[in-house]
Amino acid sequence: MLNIEGLLVHFPYDYIYPEQYSYMLELKRTLDAKGHGVLEMPSGTGKTISLLSLIVAYQKVFPLEVSKLIYCSRTVPEIEKVVEELRKLMEYYSKQTGESNNFLALALSSRKNLCIHPELMHANIVVYSYHYLLDPKIADLVSKELTKKSVVVFDEAHNIDNVCIDSMSVNISRRTLDRCQTNVETLQNTIQKIKETDATKLKMEYRRLVEGLKEANVARETDVYLSNPVLPDEILQEAVPGTIRTAEHFVGFLKRFLEYLKSRLRVHHVVQESTPQFLKDIFDKVCIDRKPLRFCAERLRSLLRTLEIADIADFSAVTLISNFATLVSTYSQGFTIIIEPFEDRTPTIANPVLHFSCMDPSIAIKPVFQRFQSVIITSGTLSPLDIYPRILDFRPVTMASFTMTLARTCLCPLIVGRGNDQVALSSKFETREDFAVIRNYGSLLQEMSAIVPDGIVAFFTSYMYMENIVAAWYEQGILENIQRNKLIFIETPDAAETSMALEKYQEACENGRGAILLSVARGKVSEGIDFVHHFGRAVIMFGVPYVYTQSRILKARLEYLRDQFQIRENDFLTFDAMRHAAQCVGRVIRGKTDYGLMIFADKRYARADKRGKLPRWIQEHISDGSLNLTVDEAVQLSKHFLRQMAQPFRQEDQLGLSLLTLEQLESEEMLKKISQIAHQT
Amino acid sequence: MAALSEEVLLVVKKVRQRKQDGTLYLMAERIAWGPEGKDRFTVSHLYADTRCQKISPDGKAKIQLQLVLHTGESTTFHFSNDSSALKDRDAAKELLQQLLPKFKKKANKELEEKNRMLQEDPVLFQLYKDLVVSQVISADEFWANRLGDTNHADPSLSNNKQEVGISGAFLADIRPQTDGCNGLRYNLTADIIESIFRTYPTVKEKYCENVPHNLTEKEFWTRFFQSHYFHRDRINTGTQDIFSECAKQDEQGLKSMVVQGVKNPLVDLLSLEDKTLDEGYGVCTTLPSTSNSNRSVKESSNSAIIKRFNHHSAMVLAAGSRKGETPANQASETSNTDGNSRDSVFFQPPVKKPPLYAFKHYTTSQDIINSVNYIQHEMVNYKPNLTQVLSSTTASSAIAALSSGGVLMQAATQQAINQMVPSEVQGELKHLYAAAGELLRHFWSCFPVNTPFMEEKVTKMKSNLERFQMTKLCPFQEKIQRQYLSTNLTGHLEEMLQTAYSKFHIWQTRRMLRKT
């Protein structure tokens, strides 16, 4: 039982990390202020249980202030972890209070066991994936009736802007249009059939549409629904336009729209235009107005319901097109349309794609911030903190970064900027093919493979880059030499293949043989797999993982960020690269008893603008002496570090420093120390 | 002829041995050579005694074949028939190649066992040197009751030898060397071949299919190293390559492994995300298309290399753990929780871990500390069982006797020797004791002498003892005399030998009496 500024919190463990206490303090202040918060705390310091304990306690004490916790995480294992911690907390509660639990917690972890609203509405705690809240297509089905007095937590939120953007972006290829064509034909036939057998159904629908979407409007005004960004407020006050009200008219409308899109895909050069330009063009060419386009998604849904079509998945193509129609006619800003006749890499093969890209992550998340009284954005790596409120367009009441209190320095970040031959190491474009750099990278990995026990994970900036380096290393015989020390596994674009490689990698670490995993930043491994303990004793980041800057979509987004948010292109690119680098290296430290080397193999990491964007808990362990090392120097430091880490480490060593008992926590001196853990920005 | 009844498999004339012309005979169980014009074999080796054969490289002037025996000796035959020397040699070689392995297994097993015993036991090895190498007793006598003993004593010990895994870099060890004329030479050893077979069972299959019917061993390996299979970065050249099938099978194996999926949900990237975006949504869904048509040659060779490394590592790993497969044990994850929530380690779904062969799991420092604490705790509660111990008077008298000045400590030679004698002499003395002990053990084990075989043995043992005294003990005595050290050092040894001699005399006299 902890006392957090007057709030009594049941905490199901005997000991607590100082930063957990500090974290709960900040969290409570955020809830008190009924505002949003951005909190960064290293993984492995018990973020999840801190969040759960405090918010559950808050709910119990102030049931009228906060009635629901919506906990969003990214991957299935993470969701399961949350559920596990929650179970522990609930058991602890019933043991402490002696009464059976009257708390309803609900976890949605797959579309297969998708649950229905009533249960969701009554649950005190909901745990599910981001998409259920951020993707308008699902949020509308699952989350729209959640109460305003909810606390929303986005855990592992370092990529939340990309999730937002993804959920609002659409790509249309020729294949999509072909499938859409079939969909429309099926619709037409079904309508024809129904007309012959059950015409009243269609008439009923027509009447409903004349009534308009009033129902939805009432619900929204009376605060029952989470607003759907796809369905703008204005629409709700109007009836569905007459041009698409009857089913046949609507199908005809869809056909026309489809033909138009087909014509747009018949281009020979790249086209980029804004949404107003697109709307003007569609009006000029096929006389489609903006208004019916806006109703397209809603109208299709109604039709599918009326036709009682069971398997909506078959109609994914036409759903996609109508979603696109609604989006493109709703937002005049924050989106761009790019039509590319072929892939850049293969200019000879025609593969036209229409990219409708969202450039503004705040559009998708705006309803969440507006609707719920407290939204907490948290992750192990959220630096620099101030950029998230800017790109997501919200005003947090608290922003804090917590360090990891350590009884022993269990992480060792090293920046390797030079090879033993003094060649500058960098993955920057100009030296990307440089033989000397590739060779030096190879010797870094080779030497590390000789001194690091068990597992080493290495990340490359992109898949292409990794492929080229692996091929070069193969030719130079470097991989053979590495094989003398460890087995080599490599990530491939195929997820199943990579899963197998991962499993074998772990097996090799487990049985003492040791292994190396070559992987890619921004890949699935870097985002979702933890390399606890011996599964990762060292991580090497080869180069700075900048996103591929030649993409037109990215360029458009950068321009938008500059114009709308005054974020300079380079600042954003560096921020983006560094958050991925931090994600990669953070994979090896998953707790205070864990230890690992973090090797940044690029001289650019030594610069303040890069280094300064690393999370505080990593940054503060980079000393001036480890800024521009050669491979040999890094090896020496690593050896020293590993020898130290191999010494016994016991609970007593941590107690009072990085692990506290209740009494220790309550001491005056400790509370003073704790107040320094949170780094406010 | 020594053994006409034996089946002669091959006769090769004009074979020189030690510069003498003669004829080489390959028989069912041995190889023999007799000089020209003589009716007996001067050289005869059982196949079982032969470790291997070696042949002179092609292109050498002398065409030779050498047999290396397990004892380390070797015999060289020189094929001197001008017209058919090479053919003769190859015929002999081919035949030996088929014959030797049949005998090898049996001989090897014993030999390996002996080798292992010698390697693992330095004392035994010294004894072996003292007694066998210096020819005090024969090797057979030395091993006569040793092998049986140990086999009975601890059969599990010898079988329990840990299966050795395969080096991940075994292919790297076959460094090709240029032979100076635009060719490459690969050095293959039996170990590497074994590694290749264990890692790539498909290659072994091919080997069994093709060698020696279709290809010679050399041709087989030449093709192997030329194949697309070996050089994955090369693009497949054609279907006549016998290894293209291997590659296909490997690929299928890999595919089936991939299809099977992974057991550990934490590494399953496919089910990592709860809800992936539907097709068509998202920013960049234009993944690099995987169809081969629009990939450049370089790219597909790169991805082939990557596939190959994953496959190779998986196979090496599998080859290592195939043998020692233990029932899948729920390897407990390093459980050094520190009494607090731990985001990552904490959640451990019921995963059946793959079988491990080397370390079951890691002992963390916390585990060790815990177990030390546990032992300390146990020790505190320890209560001796006092009914089973000596009475205090007996104990104190024993202590008194063992203290300096006590009855049993008066001689205190141990210390004296330590200080008086240089360490090398001490070492030598130790070896002498061990050797003498071994011989005496043989000697005394003959009693009671009740079979003719035992009689023979005891006589032999006695002469062995005498020989030991003559060749080992006496020189040692002389040596220490020269160094003016106390001759008393060997007194006890001599005493022991004398006791044995007198026992022998008593026995002999009795036997004489009985006979007369």
Lowest mean pLDDT among A26-30, B2-6, B262-266: B2-6
| Residues of chain A with C-beta less than 8 angstroms from the C-beta of B275 | 110-111, 129, 131-132, 135, 138
Residue A118 touches partner B, C-beta closer than 8 Å: no
Question: Highest mean pLDDT range out of A25-39, B18-32, B340-354?
Answer: A25-39
Long-range contacts of A312-315 (CB under 8 A, 24+ apart): A314/A183, A314/A186, A315/A183, A315/A186, A315/A187
Give the whole-angstrom CA distance, residue B102 versus residue B97. Answer: 9
Q: Do the chains contact at B273 and A647, CB–CB below 8 Å? A: no
Choose the closest CB to B309 out of A166, A479, A512. Answer: A479
User: For B346, which residue in chain A has the nearest alpha carbon?
Assistant: A81
| Residue corresponding to tokens 């060698």 | B211
Per-residue pLDDT at B259: 83
Choose the closest CB to A44 out of B265, B320, B344. Answer: B344
Choose the closest CB to A483 out of B168, B286, B357. Answer: B168
Q: Do the chains contact at B359 and A591, CB–CB below 8 Å? A: no
- The C-alpha of A197 sits at a distance from chain B's nearest C-alpha, in angstroms, of 34
Residue B225 phi, psi (nearest 5): -75, -20
pLDDT at A112 over 60: no
Label residue B329 by pLDDT band (50, 70, 90).
Answer: very low
Mean pLDDT of A64-68: 89
pLDDT for A448-485, tens place per residue?
Answer: 999 999 999 999 999 989 999 999 998 888 998 999 89
Label residue B232 by pLDDT band (50, 70, 90).
Answer: low
SS3 of A104, please?
Answer: coil
Residue A70 touches partner B, C-beta closer than 8 Å: no
Label residue A298 by pLDDT band (50, 70, 90).
Answer: confident
pLDDT at A224 over 60: no
| Residues of chain B with C-beta less than 8 angstroms from the C-beta of A129 | 273-275
Per-residue pLDDT at A276: 95
Per-residue pLDDT at A220: 53
Per-residue pLDDT at B345: 35
Is residue B476 a contact partner of residue B458, using CB atoms and an 8 Å limit? no
| Residue B360 region by backbone torsions, left for phi larger than 0, else alpha for psi between -120 and 50, else beta | alpha
Q: Do the chains contact at A46 and B172, CB–CB below 8 Å? A: no
Per-residue pLDDT at A551: 86
Per-residue pLDDT at A421: 94
Q: How many CB pairs under 8 A join A and B?
A: 286
pLDDT for A551-564, tens place per residue?
Answer: 889 999 999 999 99
Choose the closest CB to B365 out of A169, A317, A649. Answer: A649
Choose the closest CB to A498 out of B269, B285, B361. Answer: B269
pLDDT at A4 over 60: yes
Residue A65 touches partner B, C-beta closer than 8 Å: no
pLDDT for A14-53, tens place per residue?
Answer: 899 999 999 999 999 999 999 999 999 998 888 999 999 9
Mean pLDDT of B212-220: 80
Bigger pLDDT: B485 vs B76: B76
User: For B259, which residue in chain A has the nearest alpha carbon?
Assistant: A496
Q: Do the chains contact at A492 and B263, CB–CB below 8 Å? A: no
Runs of H (alpha helix) within B337-412: 365-380, 392-402
Choose the closest CB to A353 out of B286, B298, B331. Answer: B286
User: Mean pLDDT across chain B, nearest whole number?
Assistant: 73
Residue A110 touches partner B, C-beta closer than 8 Å: yes
Per-residue pLDDT at A158: 92
- The C-alpha of A631 sits at a distance from chain B's nearest C-alpha, in angstroms, of 23
Length of chain A: 681
Per-residue pLDDT at B293: 45
Q: Do the chains contact at B278 and A47, CB–CB below 8 Å? A: no
What is the DSSP pairing of strand A596-601 with strand A411-418? parallel
Q: Which of B341, B271, B352, B276 is nearest to A76 (CA)?
A: B271
**CA triplet B222, B227, B233: central angle to 5 degrees?**
135
Choose the closest CB to A591 out of B345, B347, B368. Answer: B345
Mean pLDDT of A269-274: 92
* Residue B182 CA neighbour count, 13 Å, CB half: 0
Lowest mean pLDDT among A148-152, A156-160, B115-119, B308-312: B115-119
User: Mean pLDDT across chain A, nearest whole number?
Assistant: 88
Lowest mean pLDDT among A303-317, A535-549, B415-429: B415-429
Q: Which of A512, A444, A453, A451 is nearest to A478 (CA)?
A: A444
Reduced DSSP (H G I as helix, E B as strand, rest coil) percent helix, strand, coil of chain A, to 5: 55, 15, 30
Long-range contacts of B345-350 (CB under 8 A, 24+ apart): B345/A532, B345/A533, B345/A590, B345/A591, B346/A81, B346/A84, B346/A85, B347/A77, B347/A80, B347/A81, B347/A84, B349/A80, B349/B265, B349/B266
Mean pLDDT of B42-55: 82
Length of chain B: 516
Instruction: Give the percent of chain A with pLDDT over 90.
Output: 54
User: For A176, which residue in chain B has the nearest alpha carbon?
Assistant: B280
User: For B367, which residue in chain A has the nearest alpha carbon?
Assistant: A650
Q: Do the chains contact at A489 and B309, CB–CB below 8 Å? A: yes
| Residues of chain A with C-beta less than 8 angstroms from the C-beta of B267 | 499, 502-503, 506, 529
Per-residue pLDDT at B239: 53
Partner residues linked to B54 by β-bridges = B66
Task: Give the alpha-carbon dihedral of A606, A607, A610, A611, to 10 degrees.
Answer: 50
pLDDT for B395-447, tens place per residue?
Answer: 888 888 887 767 666 655 555 566 677 788 888 888 888 888 888 888 888 88
Choose the closest CB to A502 out of B267, B290, B368. Answer: B267
Angle between helices A316-330 and A275-286 in degrees, nearest 10:
110
pLDDT at B178 over 90: no
Per-residue pLDDT at B179: 60
pLDDT at B362 over 70: no
Q: Do the chains contact at B313 and A590, CB–CB below 8 Å? A: no
pLDDT for A329-358, tens place per residue?
Answer: 988 899 999 999 987 777 788 889 999 999
Label residue B350 by pLDDT band (50, 70, 90).
Answer: very low
Mean pLDDT of B81-106: 80
Per-residue pLDDT at B81: 82
pLDDT at A432 over 50: yes
Choose the closest CB to A504 out of B278, B290, B314. Answer: B314
Q: Do the chains contact at A477 and B334, CB–CB below 8 Å? A: no
Mean pLDDT of B85-101: 83
Label residue A571 by pLDDT band (50, 70, 90).
Answer: very high
Partner residues linked to A358 by β-bridges = A335
- The C-alpha of B288 sits at a distance from chain A's nearest C-alpha, in angstroms, of 9
Instruction: Give the percent of chain B with pLDDT over 70.
Output: 71
B-proximal residues of A, 568-607, CB under 8 Å: 590-594
Label residue B279 by pLDDT band (50, 70, 90).
Answer: confident
Per-residue pLDDT at B510: 86
Q: Do the chains contact at A496 and B259, CB–CB below 8 Å? A: yes
B-proximal residues of A, 45-64, CB under 8 Å: 45-49
Mean pLDDT of B158-173: 65
Per-residue pLDDT at A414: 96
Q: Do the chains contact at A77 and B279, CB–CB below 8 Å? A: no
User: For A164, which residue in chain B has the nearest alpha carbon?
Assistant: B282
Residue A532 touches partner B, C-beta closer than 8 Å: yes
Label residue B256 by pLDDT band (50, 70, 90).
Answer: confident
Choose the closest CB to A14 out of B306, B339, B342. Answer: B339
Give the whole-angstrom CA distance, residue A346 versus residue B501. Answer: 97
Residue A478 touches partner B, C-beta closer than 8 Å: no
Label residue B457 by pLDDT band (50, 70, 90).
Answer: confident
pLDDT at B177 over 70: no
Residue A657 touches partner B, C-beta closer than 8 Å: no
Give the whole-angstrom CA distance, residue B44 versus residue A69. Answer: 91
Tokens representing residue A417 in the block = 């900027």
Per-residue pLDDT at B152: 44
pLDDT for A119-146, tens place per residue?
Answer: 666 788 989 888 888 887 777 766 777 7
| Residues of chain B with C-beta less than 8 angstroms from the C-beta of A659 | 338-340
User: For A41, which residue in chain B has the nearest alpha carbon?
Assistant: B343
Per-residue pLDDT at A521: 93
| Residues of chain B with C-beta less than 8 angstroms from the C-beta of A468 | 302
Label residue A202 by pLDDT band (50, 70, 90).
Answer: confident
Per-residue pLDDT at B348: 36
Residue A344 touches partner B, C-beta closer than 8 Å: no
Q: Do the chains contact at A503 and B262, CB–CB below 8 Å? A: yes
B-proximal residues of A, 126-145, CB under 8 Å: 128-129, 131-132, 135, 137-138
User: For A352, which residue in chain B has the nearest alpha carbon?
Assistant: B286
Per-residue pLDDT at A514: 92
pLDDT at B347 over 50: no
Mean pLDDT of B74-95: 85
| Residues of chain A with C-beta less than 8 angstroms from the C-beta of B199 | none
Per-residue pLDDT at B302: 82
Q: Is the ipTM of this complex over 0.90?
A: no
Partner residues linked to A545 by β-bridges = none
| Residues of chain A with C-beta less than 8 angstroms from the C-beta of B299 | 467
